[in-house]
Structure 1
Amino acid sequence: MASNIGELLLLFTFLSILVSSVSYYYEAVLGFENKVPILEPIDNRYADSVVRCAMSCGSGCKCFNFNHHTGMCISYHSCHAFNMTVNELGWQLYYRPPLNTLDSLQFYRSCLNENYIYYEENVAKNLYCFIKSSTNSTNAKEKCHSFRSHLLEINTEAEQIWINDKVSGGGWWMGGVPVTDENGVNWIWENSSTQMNFSNWDLYQPNNFGEECVIMSGSGRWSDISCTYAFNIICEMRYK
């Protein structure tokens, strides 16, 4: 009898550790209950618990959906484009957030909780929130600051190419500002206070006609422009 109790206690302890591991490594995405992303899954299987479902989220898996009514478990390579969902009772989305800082977790939650589009870049692991809501530059900066992030700063051609695949139509605020010295007007990144070692200016840009902000077009080209105009927002958090 004592042996059986000991075995039950051992099993209970093991299950508690598994549940704690799921809670630590995976976060339920609030606001996406009863929804399934329209994405190509890695795997689609039955699991008798969310723990079993999490254990099946292996190499290359960034998130999974578990249906608490049916036990179905779906895992995915990618977790963006949550605005394209199918309503279906019982589903809960779980995501493995970046573990570098608590700020990154807040950035992720803030972006998705307001139904914006979240991306994690695969190489540098920088985090991005695409906000299709036109506003002026000041408001755009304040929105990013509320996420503990900053307006987009592109530092490499690879990052530019990656961003190009995510934007279409309209303009998007960036974090560039002009500074004037004996050599004339130079453009730097405001948040990091660094030179633009990489740039992707459009033809005849920047024209430096008193325009003190930067936008990126849907084609990925940059232009200087008045800060009072209204454009979409890309907030960025650099991997730390």
Structure 2
Amino acid sequence: MSGFRDLHVPGRPLLLPNVWDVAGARMLAQAGFAAVGTTSLGVAASEGLPDGEGAAVDATVRLVERLAPLPLLVTADIEGGSVEAAVAAAEAGAVGVNVEDGFGDPAAHARLVRDIKRAAPGLFVNARTDTHWLRDGDLDEAVRRIRMYRDAGADGVFVPGASKPHDIEWLVAVVDVPLNVLALPGGLTAHQLGQLGVARISLGSLLFRAALEAVVATAQAVQRNLPLREDLPSYQDVNG
């Protein structure tokens, strides 16, 4: 885990693309990214399953196993998570897991973090709270929760949806483990987030949704007799 932990530097955040297949991860490795996470939405939707219900955790573990031989580090989004899922991800080759509280009982989530660390001490456990994702952004509640998760042994904390500079600065200040936030369209840049002390920036489902948009736009371009981009990866690039 130490190598992955070392990538979390406040001020010089780890930019973590989130993937749903081997081809995308391999292209990101070739582009120089040192680590990727899985995206629960991307994995679930690719399997025809709903996100947020734990339905795609087994598929995520299988994906981690296929990603493990690539020259990059992999952390798995196991949604609400379980000790069994975390251990399975570790055995498949993951260096970390992301577990979300879904704005449920924080004491139960803290116990989960503690139990995962006991069962798989080498995993980097990124404990997510949904105060700013499923709720309107209660900063005091976010602070209370991430402190509980840190005290339970979380190696990092994740507050997706946190976007106001004041909120992010305060979250960095009140907890002494790496803060992870989500890159948001129209939001702060990676440079700006780094200046606020963020240590990890996840892309979440962004790449998956961008890929879906590109699929439809390319098909419609052919349908409408519009010119096609000529700078796409070649067949050989993908099949090599």
User: Normalising to structure 2: TM-score of the pair?
Assistant: 0.26
Question: Whose radius of gyration is greater, 1 or 2?
Answer: 1
Greater length-normalized contact order (CA 8 Å, ≥ 6 residues apart): 2
Higher helix share: 2
User: Normalising to structure 1: TM-score of the pair?
Assistant: 0.26
